[in-house]
Each structure stands twice: as structure tokens, then as C-alpha cells.
Structure 1
């Protein structure tokens, strides 16, 4: 797992220095120093999600599990998959119940992780773990888009998409992953990993066709031009004024439609309705809430731009 591996080969045959003397000298040649990873720095040290052992005070084992999970979340910026597994274990086992019965509130107070981000990390950690085991060091922003593929198909297909991209481009970016996933389109539940891998390679090798009248439909750079215009391949040819005007009009329509949809949704959703849904059918409500949060986060990122100052 990259940053958190313990170098077992380096440990073999290490000298004992001044720790051994007298009768212990003979044993020194066969002894090795065992270095354990720090709490929370290895996925294997995070207990798997399990059902609560009770509703009262935490048992000694639950307290140990809680501390391990807290340490895992503290490594959020180094390995998001460790934090994601930690969050799921603490939530599923209700290890937070002594400190705060409201899990999302407790997480925000301790780590300032929003509820939508919290459940996104829970949704992503298995893919992140698998990619780390393959030798990759994925960023959370890169894996975020793969959740769409995972929900359509399986963890294996999502992993295949990232792994194929990593083998075909000099550097994986969130924009490349997003571009490939969007161009893959809908995938059947029983999609074949080998077929998906071939399709990803084709997409990376073939430029996306564009219309002479309207230009590209989005502002994500063409992945076929990586490295041609800038060190990270993110530059693109400037559009003419006529094309820019056409695109601006189309984009205004998109914004207006999005605003209308959000306003309509806001009329139908409130905390009381959400609580009733979770209490009544948690297995249905929780995934819906997670998806709503993820979608809102995506919209929030899209509109988080520097706005011009009013004249």
C-alpha cells in the first residue's frame, strides 16, 4: 500500500547494536526488529464494519476499534481509503454512540468532514484500496467519478477503468478519468472487464468527434492531445467569438434548467421527510441520500468559480 508498507526485507538481518550483550549475544544474529505500522496507517489495522455489540457503553474491544478507526480517519489526506473504511466501521458498529448519537454531526465536529463527503468516502474506499494494492496511488478526486461505474457494474470494472488509464497515460488526472467515464456511457451490470479495458484504450487513442458548428460540449480537454500544448496537457485551442456565443447561450439554458430542478427538489425534501424515510426503510433511504449528497457536491464543485465583481 505504498506509503504505509513496512519494509520486511530491510528488517531482515539488521544488527542489534547495543541492545544485546553477554548471554544474549548468540541470539542477536538470528533476532530481527519487528516494526509495527502506526495506528491508522495500514488498512489491515482497521476493523471491518460490523453490527453493534449493544446500545449501552462500549466494550473494551469496541473502544480499541474506535481508537483504530479514529487514527485511520486522521490519515484522510494520505490515504482516503483508510479513512473511508474507518468511517464505515464506526457508523455500522455505532462506535460513536458514547460521544454523540448523531454520526454525521460527530464526524463534522471531529474532522470537519461534511455528511455528503463522509458517505462518498464510504462509497469509494474499496476501489481505492484495490487500486493501492495494485501499486497505484489514486487521489480521492480521481476515484470519485469511478463510483458511477461501480454502481452500474462492480468494483472490478471500476478498478479496470482506472488501471487501464494508468497504463496508457503518463499521469492520471481527475479530468481524464471523468472524460473516459462520460464517454464510456452506460455499462451493463454483467460488463466484461477485458471488453471494458479495450474500450478504454480505444477512447484514449481516439479523439472525440466534434461538430463544426458547436465545438465541444464541455470544457474538459481532449485526452488525445495530452502533452502537446502544456506540461499537463490541459490547454486547448481558443474558440472563436461566434462559437463562444453559441456555447454561452447553451450553457445559460443548462444553468436555468439546473436551477429550476433544484428549486423543485427543495420543495419536496426536508429534514422531517428524510428522518422518516431513514427510520422506515433505511436500506432504501440511505443510498438515495448518499447519491443526493454526491450529486449536490458535484454541482457545488461545478459552480465554485471566481465570479466577476459587479460594476
Structure 2
């Protein structure tokens, strides 16, 4: 079943920008002297992080700008549900809708015909979508929805691992594949190990077809044993191609180096005194920036929170 913000991604996609901090958006080729700025609401970074309302009175100029950016996020990127989800959460948390309609769910329905259940599902899912987009994927909302129960059992990190592993092993992710893998994984403990779950997913994707029982009927599960044979990253067989695997690892090393370099540069430019001065001088601007920085640091922390091999 297609999701509210789903589009058909079977067609060839434009080349996407890479790097740990890349947003997965199509690269824009332009003359070196021209800088193309994305319109507010067309990238995740242009959506302000959710924040508490500044007041119950009329919107401030900054709040109006935030509101327009969030509206654009829902209007313009219906194929990127994580941007719509973040937009909805920011508008709800900051009560940016209060001038037009104090009832958020009614206001969203009037403007976009998104039901209350759908809008809160989008709010719940956008962080998973963002994490997958940062890994270079473009997941459909319906695919993430198939992992709702899995996320409730475990965590967003496990759901991200499951989708990422599937995407690396099959030519094209479908809702049916995600559902089949999640069903076959069964119940997982709250503290499930992401690396072990990834291994289980790879085994499921390469498992032979279930044998029929004495009645001649199988277990009714969709056969996904041959879907990963032509995976471009070499993870689709039990013995991955060394050359492909090495090339993928080399790219990942470059991502880590680029991330470390960016963090080192950022650390040189920021300190507590500067943060305090900014908050005291312009809190309406500084606080959302600080919250967004904190969110990004938490995202990086989650990304590197893996079990590392013991040093020799």
C-alpha cells in the first residue's frame, strides 16, 4: 500500500550528493561564479528545528518566516516525507498555526487534507527518514511504516539498520520486501544488537525458498531468495566481490574523514562564551540554531554508536 508521501522511484534518479552530511538531494551543475541557494522548505536544513512557542500572541517576524518554510516543506516535497514530518512537528510544537486555526489537526486537514493519524505518523517517522536519507537512500513513507512495530519493539537504530541492509542487498526496495523481512525477523529484544540484526537480514535475503509441508503448502511468505543477486555493492552473495567491497569501504572511510574534518573545524569556531553572547543578544535566532546543532550532534553520536573491535 502506497504511503501518503510516496512517489514511484523506479525511474532513474539524478546523481545524489555524497558525504556523511549530504542531504541526498540531486546535485546541481552551475557555473562556478553562480551560487544556487535552496528555497526555504526544499531541504531538511531549511526547516527550523521544533521549538517551544515564543508566546501565545501574534507571530513574530521570525515565526512567520519559520511558518512559511514549514508550509513549503509540506507543499513542495511530498516525495520526501521526512521533510514534511519535520515541518509538521515544528509547526505543531511552536504553535505556528495559532493565528490561522488554534486546532492543529483541523488546520492541517484544511490545508493539505492530511488526517490526524497520518500527520502524527509522519511526525513519528521523520527522524528515521532523515537518517536513511543521510545514508544515501530515498525511502518511501510506506516502507518506514512497515517497520512501525519493529521500532516499537527495539529502536529507530534497528529500523534504520534493517532498511539500510535491505537497500544494500536488493536492486530495488519495495514495501513487500520490507514487510517480509520484518515478519521473518519476528520478535526482537529492546537491546537487540544492530550488527547482529543486519547479519540476520542478510541471511534472510539469501535464504533458500521455504520447503512445502506435508499438505503441499508453504508458509505463504514472499520468496526473496534471489532478489539481491545483482546488488551493486557486492553484498548480495555469501562471498562478496573483494573489489566492490573494498571500493565501498574506501568511500565510507572518506566519509568518516570528511565528518571528522568538519567537526574539527566547527570546534574551532564555537565556545561557551560565544554561545552565551548569542543567546543573550538574539535568543529567537540563537536558540533554534543551538537546538539544531544539538540534534545533528545526537544524530552523529547515534551513527557512530556501534560495537568497535578491541584494540590490539
Both structures adopt the same fold (TM-score exceeding 0.5): yes
Tell me how far apart the structure 2 counterparts of residues 115 and 196 of structure 1 sit (CA, whole Å).
Answer: 33
Tell me how far apart the structure 2 counterparts of residues 198 and 49 of structure 1 sit (CA, whole Å).
Answer: 35
Shift in Å, 1:151: 2.1
Checking the alignment, whether the CA contact within 8 Å between 1:6 and 1:35 is kept in structure 2 is: no
RMSD (Å) for aligned C-alpha atoms:
2.2
Tell me how far apart the structure 2 counterparts of residues 200 and 3 of structure 1 sit (CA, whole Å).
Answer: 24
Per the alignment, residue 25 of structure 2 pairs with 4
Tell me how far apart the structure 2 counterparts of residues 135 and 63 of structure 1 sit (CA, whole Å).
Answer: 32
1:217/1:96 CA distance change after superposition, 3 Å: farther
**How do residues 6-155 of structure 1 correspond to structure 2 at under 5 angstroms?**
7=28, 10-11=29-30, 14=32, 32-155=33-156
Tell me how far apart the structure 2 counterparts of residues 48 and 64 of structure 1 sit (CA, whole Å).
Answer: 13
Shift in Å, 1:216: 4.4
Checking the alignment, whether the CA contact within 8 Å between 1:80 and 1:128 is kept in structure 2 is: yes
* TM-score, normalised with respect to structure 1: 0.62
Which runs of structure 1 show a deviation greater than 4 angstroms over 4 or more consecutive aligned residues? Answer: 225-228
SS in structure 1 at match of 2:225: helix
1:201/1:3 CA distance change after superposition, 3 Å: closer
Checking the alignment, whether the CA contact within 8 Å between 1:157 and 1:196 is kept in structure 2 is: yes
* TM-score, normalised with respect to structure 2: 0.62
Gaps of 5+ in 2: 1-21, 230-312
Checking the alignment, whether the CA contact within 8 Å between 2:24 and 2:133 is kept in structure 1 is: no
Shift in Å, 1:212: 3.4
Tell me how far apart the structure 2 counterparts of residues 141 and 210 of structure 1 sit (CA, whole Å).
Answer: 30
**1:213 pairs with 2:234:** no
Gaps of 5+ in 1: 15-31, 229-311
Tell me how far apart the structure 1 counterparts of residues 214 and 197 of structure 2 sit (CA, whole Å).
Answer: 30
Tell me how far apart the structure 1 counterparts of residues 53 and 23 of structure 2 sit (CA, whole Å).
Answer: 32
Shift in Å, 1:125: 0.7
CA radius of gyration, larger in: 1
1:122/1:69 CA distance change after superposition, 3 Å: same
